[in-house]
Amino acid sequence: MLLAFDVGNTNIVLGVFRDGEMITNWRLATDNGKSADEYGMIIHNLFRYEKLDPAEVKDVIISTVVPSILYTLQHLSQKYFNRKALVIGPGIKTGLIVKYDNPKQVGADRIVNAVAARAKYGGPLIIIDFGTATTFCAVTAKGEYIGGTIAPGLKISSDALFEKTAILPKVELEEPGQVICRNTNSSMQSGLVYGHMGVVEYITGKMKKELVEYSIAEGIDAKAEDVKVIATGGLANLIEGGVDCIDYVDKLLTLEGLEIIYRKNKKCK
């Protein structure tokens, strides 16, 4: 079995694969204060709950945007699974051509998402990940990762309104059903959720135009209607319901990308 870790600023999502198929997944809170032993015991209990044998784990792969937790998970992998983890970073084979000014600056999760989306949906692509930040990534039909946009995520925006104002309350992230609202909670929900939908529509439309222009300049025939838009992340369904630009919601995209990258690198050992 393969154990995959997708570490975000808010959550750690774990997936277990057997013969290339995901058999289960879990979501934990990202906590820099937890030790390898604490995480190790939590994960072993999750395995027992699912009637899985930790001894069957033959490899571990980690994608993280939280560098401070990497050592903890590497230590966990060695101590509890007797495996040296494969970590997404420089030197890892992905099959993508990264056109970023400095490829080392691209978040591991963005690369992993792009690998999975291209394998599953072809190209050209825009991948939107609704996490702590909302990221937009553009991939050409040739598998070139040409860049993207990073915007504050819905939860960050909500927390900022609560923390930086004197009297505004903390609200649930859900649609209020209208934009002319008659109470503070609904007004905040409207601004947060519908405002984010507007951001998604605008950036996606502009990104499609730029992706097509880039492709044509590179000699690749491309039209805006050919660009598939894939959404992932915890809040993807909330936003997808109110926009027209998203073609597919794929909540486990990052975990599937980790399994694909694992297979690419396993062949090279």
pLDDT at 266: 84
Q: What is the predicted pLDDT for the residue at 190?
A: 97
Q: Which of 131, 133, 140 has its CA nearest to residue 96?
A: 140
3-state secondary structure 40-71: HHHHHHHHHHCCCCHHHCCEEEEEECCHHHHH
**pLDDT tens by residue, the chain, 269 residues:** 999 999 999 899 999 999 999 999 999 999 999 999 999 999 999 999 999 999 999 999 999 999 999 999 999 999 999 999 999 988 899 999 999 999 889 999 999 999 999 999 998 999 999 998 999 999 999 999 999 999 999 999 999 999 999 999 999 999 999 999 999 999 999 999 999 999 999 999 999 999 999 999 988 888 899 999 999 998 999 999 999 999 999 999 999 999 999 999 986 55
Residue positions annotated with a catalytic role: 109
Long-range contacts at 35-40 (CB < 8 A, ≥ 24 apart): 35/72, 36/72, 36/73, 36/75, 36/76, 36/79, 36/80, 37/79, 39/72, 39/73, 39/76, 40/76, 40/79, 40/80
Length of the chain: 269
Give the global pTM: 0.92
Determine the pLDDT at residue 45. 96
